[in-house]
Structure 1
Amino acid sequence: MSENVLLEDFNTILDSELDVSKFTHQNIFITGATGLIGSLLVKFLLYANIQQDLNITVYAMIRNLKKANKIFADYLDDQHLKFVVAHLGENDLELDAHLDYVIHPAAVTQSKMMVSDPVGTIKTAVNGTEEILRFAVKHQVKAMVYVSSMEVYGQFNSEAKVTEKDLGFIDLTSARSCYPESKRMCELLCTAYSDEYGLNVKIARLAQTFGAGVLTTENRVFAQFARSVIQGEDIVLHTEGKSEGNYVYTADATKALLFLLLNGETKQAYNVSNEDNHMTIREMAEMVVREFGQDGEKVVVDIPKENMGYAPDTHMWLDNSKLRSLGWKPTKNMILSYKSLIDWMK
């Protein structure tokens, strides 16, 4: 059942505004291939190959071969999948092959790591991204997409929708700021590499991404909510849930990154979000219980004493009109996104 949900998503992308035929006979390098975004990009491109005979070769950068073999178990016999084992930021990335495109989603994404190892988080982001930018220049790629985050905006308390030109406050006395501030620095590195070396690099500021394809190890709040209702348990919030979330469905994000590779403007940043998928964490929890609860589950608030590394409350609504103006369209609202997520997780 779960694989079917993913294949339905992939077919939707193939029938969409993304002209995947433009990647015919191209070599595409993807970092963080065992993460959520990276794994979906790899699987989609291999699926597109089979459906449309595109002859795309995917170079999947991974750290752990055992983990990669598990995630890509169904694709290991595919001659178009090549694993590249390297450790981001440690300058051990070597590849003797022609490349056409690079997508760079690899990053530290666990909040707990951001507060327990802020130095490592910064080094992985900044040193790792510079390594990939150098690599892209060396291979003279046609285009690169750097996967940034909506966290670059910092904290907002504005009623207006947030466009790519806006920047909020980041508290530099908080170790948790290692993530958004290093993402800002990575975006600036992209600009610098474009100006100095002529690299055609575009930036995707991703909203929180979830849906079919999430990994079994996923523990972010959306996965916890889904797991709770699948198991018939109350949803427990570890904050008041006042922070406003901006979300985008996994297949819509996958499509957006490939779409930007082909259509995005050099040095430009684009919000990748679904404006209809905007609500507080509390509202999301209540929606999940209402729509998918089985037997009287409810939302419970239980705030722990220790620092869990959660991002500070923010009130921000991401404007996606810049990406939509290129022709990209999101497809799934929150209820449909959760339906697919729950079907996949079951």
Structure 2
Amino acid sequence: MWIENDTFREDLERICDSTYLPWAELEGKTVFITGATGLIGYTAASAFMFYALRSGCRIDVLLLVRDEERARRLFKGQMNDGCNCRFIEGSLEKMPSVPSPVDYIIHCACPTDSAFFTTNPTETICSIFIGTRNVLALARDKKASGMVYLSSMEVYGQVKCREKLGEQDLGYINPLSVRSSYSEGKRMAENLCCAYAHQYDVPVTIVRLAQTFGPGVKSTDSRVFAYMARCALACQDIHLKTSGLKENMYLYTMDAVSAILMLLLRGTRGDAYNAANESTYCSIKDMARTVLDTLGAPSAKVCTNVGGDNQGLYRPEGYLNLNVEKLKALGWRPMVNLPEMYLRMVKTFSNTES
């Protein structure tokens, strides 16, 4: 998926035309991105390359990937158009040598599947912590000018009130639940970022992303937002394995990338920022109903608590009503609401890599 896809090209043009983003500061810089074949990593890398291509400036994009052959297929369009894109094959756990200078780092790589968290909790927590430690060490070694660590709204744990959550308003996480391998891992990685910022002056900023989706999501993705879209497109009922009463915020992929870019250049080092679209705040059940109505399946139903006891597989019941004023104070604004997120995502379902 590249500029041949009208929806993705519109997103790329919109972010490059965002006058509040300090694009010019990236002239002649090298940006290192982990998790570059994932949804956010791919979108961020494409945005940097598209801006450089369109503006005529030079931005070198260096991508850490586990499988270079697959990555080359994924970025074939960018490479054919002459973008400055290079690959380093390896894993976060055993960081390969990075011979070139690195000015900025975006650390996206992380497990994202709830089922994986519960079946592979050790791998989940170790991947998050060890990977982040190695990326921070790289930032220190390269004397990077900025780094953004992608954290998650799940660091807030179980919150039982609907009040807005500022960056200091953390809730409870049960350390004896294997599902907490993800949320506790993210909290630990955040603390590690603060430690590196304090002890070694590593210029790292943390972004706590709401659940993020948009163009580039595979039609076979197991996460609930993709499942809901598949059901709606097939005019089938949506079967939720929970009560559907959890309330969350969401964020469009390119809006997440604009937040990352803003924080890469303007964020306070060693600090954390919420990133979400406040207009998307709703329950899982209400989102399911919105998806059915938006994608043309108003007669389909939303069924809850399907399949018996699923406690332990998903985040506990609660409310994640994130306050994003801190990020907005830098000039950032989300552009795409929840119905439009779904409409734009499904336009690219058939164009994703198998």
Confirm or deny a common fold (TM above 0.5). Answer: yes
2:9 is the counterpart of 1:13: no
Partner residue of 2:323?
A: 319
Segment drifting more, 66-75 vs 331-340: 66-75
Counterpart contact for 2:28–2:58, Cα < 8 Å: yes
Q: For residues 74 and 337 of structure 1, what CA distance do their matches in structure 2 show? A: 24
Distance, in Å, in 2 between the alignment partners of 1:219 and 1:4 is 25
The answer for the alignment partner of 1:226 in structure 2 is 229
Secondary structure at 1:59 match in 2 = strand
Structure 2 residues without counterparts, runs of 5 or longer:
none
CA distance in 2, matches of 1:79, 1:304: 48
Equivalent position of 1:338 in the other structure: 342
Match of 1:163 in 2: 166
SS of equivalent to 1:75: helix
Among residues 116, 130, 146, which one is paired with 2:133 in the alignment? 130
- SS state of the match for residue 58, structure 1? strand
- CA–CA distance in 1 between the matches of 2:49 and 2:218? 18
| Aligned positions of 1:6-85 closer than 5 A | 6-16=8-18, 17-77=20-80, 78-85=82-89
The percentage of aligned residue pairs carrying the same residue is: 37
In structure 2, give the amino acid aligned to 1:170.
Answer: I
Output the CA distance in 1 between the equivalents of 2:317 and 2:64: 34
Q: State the 1:217 CA deviation.
A: 4.7
Shift of 1:296: 2.4
Quote the offset at 1:288 in angstroms: 1.1
Q: Is the 8 A contact 2:34 2:108 kept in 1?
A: yes
Deviation per CA, 1:207-252: give whole Å up to 9, x if none: 0001123244532111111112222322221211111121011110
Map Cα deviations across residues 251-310 of structure 1 (whole Å, 9 max, x no partner). 100111011001101111000001111100000001111222247222233522465721
TM (normalized to structure 1)?
Answer: 0.96
Over 3 Å counting, the alpha-carbon distance change for 1:108 and 1:272 in structure 2 is: same
CA distance in 2, matches of 1:324, 1:75: 31
Whole-angstrom CA distance in 2 between matches of 1:166 and 1:325: 19
Deviation at 1:88, TM superposition (A): 1.3
2:293 to 290, 294, 319: 290
Could you tell me how far apart the structure 2 residues matched to 1:169 and 1:2 are?
Answer: 45
Aligned residue runs from structure 1 range 159-238, under 5 A = 159-238=162-241
Paired residue type of 2:277 = N
TM-score (norm: length of structure 2): 0.93
Q: One-letter code of the match for 2:156?
A: Y
Letter in 1 for 2:21: L
**Is the 2:241–2:308 Cα contact (8 Å) retained in structure 1?**
no
1:336 alignment partner AA? E
In 2, the alpha carbon distance for the partners of 1:252 and 1:198 equals 28
Asked if the contact 2:231–2:237 (Cα under 8 Å) also holds between the matched residues in 1, the reply is yes
- Measured after TM superposition, the shift of residue 312 of structure 1 is 1.4
Residues 103 and 145 of structure 2 are in contact (CA less than 8 Å); yes or no, is this contact kept in structure 1? Answer: yes
CA RMSD in angstroms, aligned pairs only: 1.6
Distance 1:15 1:168, change over 3 A: same
Question: Residues 72-92 of structure 1: CA distance to partner in whole angstroms, max 9, x if unpaired?
Answer: 2312333511011111122x3
Larger deviation, residues 39-48 vs 289-298? 289-298
Q: CA deviation at 1:200?
A: 0.8
State the secondary structure of the residue aligned to 1:175: coil
Identify if the C-alpha distance between structure 1 residues 192 and 329 changes in structure 2 by more than 3 Å, giving closer, same or farther.
same
Post-superposition Cα deviations, 1:12-70, rounded to whole Å, max 9, x if no partner, equal 11121212122111100000011111010111111111111121110011112233133
* Conservation of the 8 A alpha-carbon contact between 1:2 and 1:345: no
Residues 60 and 85 in structure 2, CA contact (< 8 A), matched pair in contact too: yes
Provide closer, same or farther for how the CA distance between residues 63 and 171 of structure 1 changes in structure 2, counting only shifts above 3 A. same
